[in-house]
């Protein structure tokens, strides 16, 4: 009986949360009013305010606006109107906003709860310029007070042409982090690059990559244009140690400039229980000690892979020996 009573209480509490969103006020009328206000603005071709307030999906408000041909001033006015109409009504909600700024609808300025009209309009113009220069399935930027994340998905334009296009679109001194995912039929790595990333930085990284005796699958370029992360493919087990040491030397990695280096034998098949792979934190010691692969490497790495990883870590990371 006590168990049944407990289940009934839990069900009643869940129903109460569904009805009241566990404390979030009902703002459906305000959401409808906001959507109508946005649709009336010059430059807006379509809009939607997605509103939830329940136990399963939580309290959320997502504003989506389609203004492919809107002038910067019109975009600023739309953002200002959103701020004025919503006021503080959705303070208890998880708020997000998206502004699709080209006819493709896949070039989008994204934000959280804070909407600055000048910033949104400026990013819209930057993304429009970028979309003309770069062939990508999706281009978006999410900006908050501390970060600006620029994402380019399914990119057909060569990376060496994308980087100058980003500089031209956002300015040489713009502080944005670019995530670039090439289309599957392009033989090139995925990139994560912290801008400013100058033409000189780009040339140096190109030269370093060209000198490496490995395939490069993923590359992270951190501050000051330095390579901070690499995921590479090995071609020769007999020279694996020398090849990885060569990569470390080419990047000049060490305590003053750490490198997160991971590798995998290109001949290994997906789904194999043990692979010839591994990782080393060159000039650092930031492994996840409680992860299964660190606690039980024998489950994932072949014996020669474990030996190679141990040798490189002993030589290059800064963990206590």
pLDDT of amino acid 15: 46
Under DSSP, is residue 280 helix (H, G, I), strand (E, B) or coil? strand
- How far apart CA 129 and CA 125 sit, in angstroms, is 6
Asked if residue 99 lies in contact with residue 75, where contact means CB atoms within 8 angstroms, the answer is: yes
d(CA 316, CA 245): 9
Q: How far apart are the first and last CA of the chain?
A: 59
What is the spatial distance between Cα 242 and Cα 249, in angstroms, rounded to a whole number? 10
Task: Give dist(CA 103, CA 166) in Å, integer.
Answer: 20
In this prediction, residue 11 carries a pLDDT of: 47
pLDDT of residue 4: 52
Q: d(Cα 44, Cα 32) in Å, to the nearest integer?
A: 16
Q: Exposure of 68 by Cβ count < 10 A (0-12 exposed, 13-18 middle, 19+ buried)?
A: middle
Strand ranges in the chain using DSSP code E only, listed in sequence order = 46-54, 58-66, 94-100, 107-111, 136-143, 148-155, 177-182, 190-194, 215-221, 227-234, 259-265, 277-282
Q: Look at residue 56 in the predicted model and tell me its pLDDT.
A: 81
For each successive 10 residues of the chain (321 residues), what is the average pLDDT?
48 45 80 97 97 90 98 98 96 96 97 98 98 98 95 97 98 97 92 98 98 97 95 96 98 96 87 90 96 96 97 97 86
Q: How far is CA 296 from the centre of its chain?
A: 29
User: How many whole angstroms from its chain centre is CA 309?
Assistant: 28
Say what the pLDDT of residue 321 is. 86
């Amino acid at each position: 009986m006590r168990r049944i009573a407990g289940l009934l209480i839990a069900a009643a509490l869940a129903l109460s949360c569904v009805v009241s969103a566990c404390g979030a006020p009902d703002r459906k009328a305000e959401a409808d009013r906001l959507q109508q206000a946005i649709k009336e603005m010059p430059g807006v071709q379509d809009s939607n305010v997605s509103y939830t307030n329940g136990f399963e999906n939580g309290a959320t408000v997502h504003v989506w606006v389609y203004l492919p041909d809107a002038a910067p001033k019109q975009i600023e006015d739309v953002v200002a109107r959103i701020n004025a109409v919503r006021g503080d009504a959705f303070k208890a909600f998880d708020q997000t906003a998206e502004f699709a700024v080209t006819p493709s609808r896949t070039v989008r300025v994204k934000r959280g709860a804070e909407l600055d009209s000048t910033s949104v309009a400026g990013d819209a113009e930057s993304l429009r310029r970028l979309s003309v220069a770069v062939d990508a399935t999706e281009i978006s930027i999410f900006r908050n007070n501390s970060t600006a994340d620029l994402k380019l998905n399914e990119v057909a334009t060569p990376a060496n042409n994308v980087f100058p296009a980003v500089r031209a679109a956002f300015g040489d001194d713009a502080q944005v982090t670019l995530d670039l995912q090439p289309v599957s039929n392009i033989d090139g790595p995925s990139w994560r690059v912290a801008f400013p990333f100058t033409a000189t930085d780009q040339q140096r990284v190109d030269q370093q990559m060209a000198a490496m005796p490995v395939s490069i699958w993923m590359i992270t370029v951190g501050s000051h244009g330095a390579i901070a992360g690499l995921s590479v493919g090995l071609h020769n087990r007999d020279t694996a140690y020398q090849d990885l040491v060569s990569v470390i030397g080419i990047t000049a990695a060490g305590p003053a400039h750490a490198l997160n280096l991971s590798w995998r034998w290109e001949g290994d098949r997906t789904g194999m229980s043990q692979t010839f792979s591994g990782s080393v934190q060159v000039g650092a010691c930031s492994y996840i000690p409680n992860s299964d692969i660190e606690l039980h490497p024998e489950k994932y790495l072949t014996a020669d892979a474990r030996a190679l990883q141990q040798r490189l870590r002993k030589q290059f990371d800064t963990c206590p020996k």
